Amino acid sequence: MAPRLQLEYFDGRSARPQRAEIQLQDGQLQLACGLQHHQYPLGSVRWPERQRHGQRQALLPDGGVLSCADAARWDDWARASGLRDSLTVRWMQNWRLVGTALAMLLAVLLLAWRWGLPLATEAALRWLPPALEQQIGGQALAQLESHWLRPSELPPAEQDALRQRFATLVKQAHPPGQAPAYQLHFRAASTALGPNAFALPGGAIVLTDALVQLMRDRPEAVLGVLAHELGHVRQRHGLRLAVQASLVSAAAGLVVGDFSALLAGVPALLTQQAYSRDFEREADAEARRCLLAAGISPRVMLDFFERLAQQRQHAASLPIAFSSHPADTERKRFFSEPP
């Protein structure tokens, strides 16, 4: 004979509990309450999850509720009646399975970060129109100008000379019509930004007065810095970072349910996020290639790294663009290699 369980029954129309008795029979939940008798298919009942403490409540399809304050007595009845916990509950009740699930989750996240995110970013870049890239870069530049940048104080003749020399270098380094589009902006910057250069989505390259003044006697090194930033423009590194950050934020939003910082954080990301090491190596390779194509020794960059290191000893700089890259031995060795 199927085991029975006495408990409280709420019919869904009144808050008054009624004494009732239940049992499972022929795939049905049989409910007896006074002169009333109800039956429900087992699959239509929302059974409670087994927990260590707390009363058990089962939700009936007609709005009624079964309530049992004695959790142990409910669990004994459910077990004797053949009710089995769901797969999720069984995993939750076993610390080994919880550990296995956590390890599997971490593995999935690692795979998604290592291979899934780059593939998704590459796919997204194919669909993003150039106008949107220009808009993102324009907003980032406007935000920088509102906080850290102001009009350049360099003589116009000096700006024109550098602009012309860089245009010549770009022309020498690329076949006709294949050079990436860029716009060179000279800007004075706060002390915190210091000698700096950075590229934004859409092709904007910003060069600070402090960097030009730091390397005024070595303009070839300034050209190398600009060629490095041109490498970021060619590879669309700024937009890649923005897309990657948006995808990560979207994934995090699915988990925590908060999308508020998804778009608002993009400009901040472009100003604070240092390029990844792989991106920097690609940009360095572009700088070296352009310098060689223009007949300039890549070793001119060694002077730049040394002066930048000396500059950092006297003043802290914001973690942005070229000045945030450590002039480590790897980069010096790269620019010292023979052609």
Output Rg (C-alpha) for the chain, integer angstroms: 33
Residues 58 and 69: their CA atoms lie apart, in Å, by 12
| Single-letter amino acid code for the residue at 278 | D
CA angle 226–284–335, rounded 5-degree value: 105
What is the reported pLDDT for 1? 78
Q: What is the pLDDT along the chain (339 residues), one digit of tens a residue?
A: 789 999 999 998 888 999 999 999 988 999 999 888 999 999 999 998 877 778 899 999 999 999 999 988 998 999 899 888 878 878 887 889 889 989 998 998 888 878 888 888 888 888 888 888 889 889 989 998 998 899 999 999 999 999 999 999 999 999 999 999 999 999 998 887 888 999 999 999 999 999 999 999 999 999 999 999 999 999 998 888 878 777 777 776 666 555 555 554 554 455 445 457 788 889 999 999 999 999 999 999 999 988 888 877 766 554 445 544 555 688 889 999 887
Residues 199 and 319: their CA atoms lie apart, in Å, by 14
The encoded tokens of residue 41 equal 């298919």
The encoded tokens of residue 199 equal 């590229």
Q: CA 328 from chain center: how many Å? A: 27
What is the reported pLDDT for 317? 53
What is the reported pLDDT for 209? 96
- Phi and psi (nearest 5°) for 104? -65, -40
CB count, 10 Å around CB of 122? 11
Three-class SS of the chain? CCCCEEEEEECCCCCCCEEEEEEEECCEEEEEECCEEEEEEHHHCECCCCCCCCCEEEECCCCCEEEECCHHHHHHHHHHHCCCCCHHHHHHCCHHHHHHHHHHHHHHHHHHHHHHHHHHHHHHHHHCCHHHHHHHHHHHHHHHHHHCEEECCCCHHHHHHHHHHHHHHHHHHCCCCCCCCCEEEEEEECCCCCCCEEECCCCEEEEEHHHHHHCCCCHHHHHHHHHHHHHHHHHCHHHHHHHHHHHHHHHHHHHHCCCCCCCCCHHHHHHHCCCCHHHHHHHHHHHHHHHHHCCCCCCHHHHHHHHHHHHHHHCCCCCCHHHHCCCCHHHHHHHHCCC
Q: How far apart are the two ends of the chain, measured CA to CA in Å?
A: 90
CA distances from 286 to 146, 230, 279 (A): 31, 8, 11
What is the reported pLDDT for 327? 53
Round the average pLDDT of the chain to a whole number and report it. Answer: 85
- Phi and psi (nearest 5°) for 250? -65, -40
pLDDT tens per residue, range 191-226: 878 889 999 999 999 999 999 999 999 999 999 999
What is the reported pLDDT for 319? 47
What is the reported pLDDT for 260? 54
CA distances from 285 to 25, 88, 235, 275, 335 (A): 75, 51, 12, 15, 9
Q: List the one residue out of 187, 181, 186, 228 whose CA is nearest residue 201.
A: 181
Return the sign of the alpha-carbon dihedral for residues 245, 250, 252, 257.
positive
